[in-house]
Amino acid sequence: MSLRYVAQRLLHGALVLWIVATSVFFLFRVIPGDPAAMTLGFDAPPEALTALRTEMGLDKPLHVQYATWLFRLMRWDLGRSATSGNAPVAGLVFPSLWRTLELASLSMILAIVIAVPLGMLAALRVGSAIDQVARVVTTIGFSMPTYVLGIAALLVFAEMIPLLPSAGYVPPSEDLVLHLKYLILPAASVGLVMAARLARFMRAGMLDVLSQDYVRTAYAKGLPRWRVNARHALPNAILAFVTEVGVNFGLLIGGMVVIEQVFTWPGLGWLMIQSTLNRAYDVVQISVLICAAAFVIVNLLVDVSYGILDPRIAYE
Amino acid sequence: MRTRVVLGIVAVALCLLIGQTGVNDERASAAAALRPGGPAGLPGGQCPKRGGNLIVGQSGEPTSINPHRFGDQNARNIIIAIFSTLVEHDLQTYAIRPSLAESWTVSRDGLDWTFKLRANVKFHDGTILDAEAVKASLERSMEPASGRTAPLLTRVKSLEAKDPRTFVIHLSQPDRILLSTLLDVYIGPAGVTTERLGEAPIGTGPFKFVRWDRNRQVVLDRNPDYWRPGLPCLDRLTFRTIPEDSVRSQQLRTGQVHVSSSGLLGEMSNLASAGLVLHTPPSGYNMGLYNIHTNTRREPWRRQEVRQALSYAIDRDAVSKALFGFMSVLSNPMEANKRFLNPQAASFNKRDLDQAKQLLSAAGFSAGVDGGEAIVCGLGFQFNILGQLVQSQAAEAGIRLRLSILDVGTYVARTLGNRRGEYDIAVCAMVPKPDEYDLLNHPYAKLFTQTLGWIDQRREFYDLLDAARSTPGESAYRQAITELQRIAMEGQAEIIVGGRLDPTPARAFVKNFIPHMQGNTFFEAVWIDR
């Protein structure tokens, strides 16, 4: 893999990010409402709104606002959020991103741990009872919205059998055990649904590989079954699986909105929804940029991992 | 002879007293009726039990904790725990009583208000409250961007810190609502900018700001130097952000949250059966008004008959039932303040579909009329129900409406903000103060003069409202309020659907919680009895 290729991809990524940033900037200016109206709320007389809009620079022409924001962004001055108590945007976005990454990573690990063996087993025992059960379970999981599972989990494990706290967040520095307890239900809700999706993918991938000539040849050569599966089938099936994991992980970072809302997990998704409702322009713009950047980076990492997982793949 | 001498001395003493303080007769009697501020509901003014961390579930993250720039109830609940004001409401009678101001006097012409400040009141940073701090707070409240209070303080000519404990407000014209306005002027130290105060709020209130964990909670601790000795009862107050109603309800049931400051109307039966106490405002009071703004600059809402027809078409009893009875049936905002109610003013409390149809016919719409777009503020499920009921009930009278349920940002933008006036009717709720003036000023004037557009049609209402604010005599004032109600009820530019009665659910061990008419949560005298 050449450095030139990576540089090219990074350049493309930068272009994508600029397009995303510009689109979000103008999209949010089209939506009715602004940070001044949200700061003063229902009780704001028009004169006060006008005064606050001027104070916030919202009375300036759009292109001036855009140029100011872009210039500040290039200097990594993310500004302050007027509708979040004037907090620095960086102080809002990055801790939230970290919390989302934590939740998404744990969910994905859980999903992989379930999906890989389940998908493999179903593919290796295709048509068997195990396969049938796996297919039914994964279909249910696949079709179930995460928030339904989340609310059901809340009612069962936090209210009927109060084993876990229902929703909320405690920083690990404050109480690590409680922090992990708060993490279990949202991570399990996301992870189980994701596991269903990935298990189906794993099964399909394995079935495809198992029907290939080289697998048949390996069996014909008398290699033990486990060795054929582990050394020949799995590495080839895992390639497409890694792509799927990568894409889904990118989706998870931006797609935690609902589950974070249900579990009051103060991650990036929750921040985005609150900031959108509060018209916190700066916060939403940076949050969306981070989600876009996550996609760009994850896709690049997936492509890089191809070269590592399959030496036949080389990028020019 | 002896009696005459005594009477003479008393008369001279009274003359001297009145001459010295410059209080006119009416206001002197009003001031005499005021009692010094004391905690409501506490036996002997003392906490039966102390300590504990009360966790309050809130429906959203506050947009600000700046006492001069905030717009949502979640923010207000936090701000009123940190800051005190010169005057405050008695939570049981809603009379205005002294708070940081120990007493006040008004000059004979009503233009100079002199406030005597309470002695030895400390801010949370240890500095002493003085007239300079009060002056600075008033000045911050009068900044143009201080939306809540600035437009109500336009009659203030100058502010004077006479001595450390004496503060004077000089007015350009008499102002009956000055005290009521001061309920919203939060007192912070001098030498602090409005912006800084929002980042590190320092007040004299019962609780001190500790930290704001963004998107999670705001933590306040007991102020040991609070000027009401022995209060507050709690050691800590935590406002936790839990946007999902079902989760907030569930956390209340399991005890992770002790009080929910808002919403949850749809969860009341679950909460009641789980043993939670549902606190409602005192009988006869409500917590704001469900209302419909009509855009009187647009057809057909320009026509009074169409507005009246819609008001008659609304079945307020049915709306109340749909809201589980948590709405009082009323169409005149003054029904929340019976002392000033004009019984002669038109009432729309009883649905009258025939009358509605007749009014539409008289307006030339015997075959019905397209009422355009009804925008609804998406503040919770009760507003969706309200919007749908208004739409279906209006249709029965022949008024066709298109319903748009909007997020708060869009709703504010289209009613008051940068896309002001982009609606035909707007369904939401408002929270006027319980005094007779604000009950008229808030729905028809304060914010909505421009957005209703009614000022083009009934200028005399606005002139009379403005004049009433300066009216010195009680009878003339009462007459003005009576007439204002007559015009308002006839005009129906703002259709009042009913009074909000949203209960505040709390765990049974939360004692002495008194709900406030404006939905504010006061925790100064609340204690935990586990």
A36-46 pLDDT tens trace: 888 887 767 77
Predicted local confidence at residue A314, as pLDDT:
66
Predicted local confidence at residue B40, as pLDDT:
62
CA-nearest of B505, B40, B502, B42 to B285 is B502
Q: What is the per-residue pLDDT across B120-130, written as a single tens digit (0 to 9) for each?
A: 999 999 999 99
The Cβ-side half-sphere exposure at A101, using a 13 Å CA radius, reads 11
pLDDT above 50 for B1:
no
Measured between beta carbons, which residues in chain B are less than 8 angstroms from residue A31?
409-410
Mutation target among B69, B82, B248 for the A interface, most CBs of A within 10 A: B69
Measured between beta carbons, which residues in chain B are less than 8 angstroms from residue A96?
215
Higher pLDDT, B387 or A140: B387
Predicted local confidence at residue B22, as pLDDT:
32
Contact A108, A248 (CB under 8 A): yes
Predicted local confidence at residue B91, as pLDDT:
83
Predicted local confidence at residue A192, as pLDDT:
92
| Nearest residue of chain B to residue A277 (CA atoms) | B409
Angle between helices A176-210 and A146-154 (to 10 degrees): 140
Domains of chain B: 2-66+205-283+504-528 (3.40.190.10), 87-197 (3.90.76.10), 289-500 (3.10.105.10)
Q: What is the mean pLDDT of residues A147-164?
A: 87
Higher pLDDT, B208 or B264: B208
The answer to whether B61 contacts A274, with C-beta atoms less than 8 Å apart, is yes
Measured from the Cβ of residue B5, the count of other Cβ atoms closer than 10 Å reads 9
CA-nearest of B29, B153, B96 to B474 is B29
Q: What is the mean pLDDT of residues A279-302?
A: 85
Predicted local confidence at residue A43, as pLDDT:
67
Higher pLDDT, A217 or A309: A217
Per-residue confidence band for B208, with pLDDT thresholds at 50, 70 and 90: very high
Residue B407, min C-alpha distance to chain A (Å)? 7
Q: Round the average pLDDT of chain A to a whole number and report it.
A: 86
Predicted local confidence at residue B8, as pLDDT:
46
Mutation target among A182, A264, A281, A282 for the B interface, most CBs of B within 10 A: A264
* B10-49 residues touching A, CB cutoff 8 A: none
The answer to whether A84 contacts B214, with C-beta atoms less than 8 Å apart, is yes
Per-residue confidence band for B283, with pLDDT thresholds at 50, 70 and 90: confident
pLDDT above 90 for B438:
yes
Q: What is the per-residue pLDDT across B163-176, written as a single tens digit (0 to 9) for each?
A: 999 999 999 999 99
CA distances from B340 to B43, B65, B439 (A): 33, 35, 10
Q: What is the mean pLDDT of residues B360-388?
A: 94
Pick B247's closest partner by Cβ from A52, A96, A166. A166
Q: What is the share, in percent, of chain A residues with pLDDT greater than 90?
A: 25
Q: What is the mean pLDDT of residues A83-90?
A: 82
Predicted local confidence at residue B141, as pLDDT:
93
Mutation target among A40, A54, A157 for the B interface, most CBs of B within 10 A: A40
The span from the CA of A286 to the CA of B488, in Å, is: 48
pLDDT above 80 for B212:
yes
The answer to whether B66 contacts A263, with C-beta atoms less than 8 Å apart, is no
pLDDT above 90 for B134:
yes
Q: What is the mean pLDDT of residues B445-460?
A: 85
Sign of CA dihedral B279, B283, B286, B292: positive
Give yes or no for a cis peptide into B300 (omega within 30° of 0): yes
pLDDT above 50 for B453:
yes
Contact A49, A40 (CB under 8 A): yes
Predicted local confidence at residue A88, as pLDDT:
87
pLDDT above 90 for A148:
no
Measured between beta carbons, which residues in chain B are less than 8 angstroms from residue A59?
none
Residues 6+ apart with CB under 8 A from B504: B259, B260, B261, B278, B279, B280, B513, B515, B521
Predicted local confidence at residue B9, as pLDDT:
45
Measured between beta carbons, which residues in chain A are less than 8 angstroms from residue B377?
42
Q: What is the mean pLDDT of residues B452-475?
A: 92
The answer to whether B247 contacts A92, with C-beta atoms less than 8 Å apart, is no
Measured from the Cβ of residue B324, the count of other Cβ atoms closer than 10 Å reads 15
Per-residue confidence band for B37, with pLDDT thresholds at 50, 70 and 90: very low
Contact A248, A302 (CB under 8 A): no
Q: What is the per-residue pLDDT across B3-15, written as a single tens digit (0 to 9) for each?
A: 444 444 444 443 3
**Residues linked to residue B500 through DSSP beta bridges, in sequence order:** B327
| Nearest residue of chain B to residue A56 (CA atoms) | B145
The answer to whether B254 contacts A166, with C-beta atoms less than 8 Å apart, is yes
Q: What is the per-residue pLDDT across A175-221, written as a single tens digit (0 to 9) for each?
A: 999 999 999 999 999 999 999 989 998 999 899 988 889 888 988 88
Measured between beta carbons, which residues in chain A are less than 8 angstroms from residue B520?
none
| Nearest residue of chain A to residue B378 (CA atoms) | A277
Question: If you compute the radius of gyration of chain B from its CA atoms, what whole number of angstroms results?
Answer: 24
Which range is least confidently modeled, B1-5, B376-380, B510-514?
A: B1-5
The span from the CA of B211 to the CA of B402, in Å, is: 45
Name the pTM for this structure: 0.85
Predicted local confidence at residue B39, as pLDDT:
56
pLDDT above 90 for A310:
no
